[in-house]
Amino acid sequence: MNTLTYNGYHARIEFDAEDEVFFGKIAGISDVIGFHGDSVSEIKKAFHEAVDDYVETCKTIGKEPQKPYSGKMMFRVAPEVHRRAALAAELSGKSLNQWAEEALEEAAEHFVEARLSA
């Protein structure tokens, strides 16, 4: 497993073989919150402490802790992908936005579940 979850926050964990240390960064927010540990138990503890410290620091300075993402996405795809997606949306009786949201949600759910259960 190379991801951790705590109090609604997620982090990807990596291992630096040269320094022999685990390190991670809270994912899904623009504030940069990093942490490290020498063992699995230490990296878990450091992650929990980083999340708790982040939330407490935000509270102390009167700032809302960041919540991941606004819900607005803009990206480019190949014209053929765009055509097929628009056709799929039309045939399913949905707007392209509705269809894409459902497709992305399903793909993301499967991916995240697979990563968190690994």
- Report yes or no: 37 and 46 within 8 Å, Cβ to Cβ: yes
pLDDT digits (tens, 9 = 90+) for 45-84: 999 999 999 999 999 999 999 876 667 788 899 999 999 9
Rounded distance between C-alpha atoms, residue 74 and residue 69, angstroms: 13
Question: pLDDT above 70 covers what percent of the chain?
Answer: 96
pTM for the structure as a whole = 0.62
What's the token pair of residue 85?
């997606």
Residue-range domain boundaries for the chain? 3-61, 79-117
pLDDT digits (tens, 9 = 90+) for 35-46: 999 999 999 999
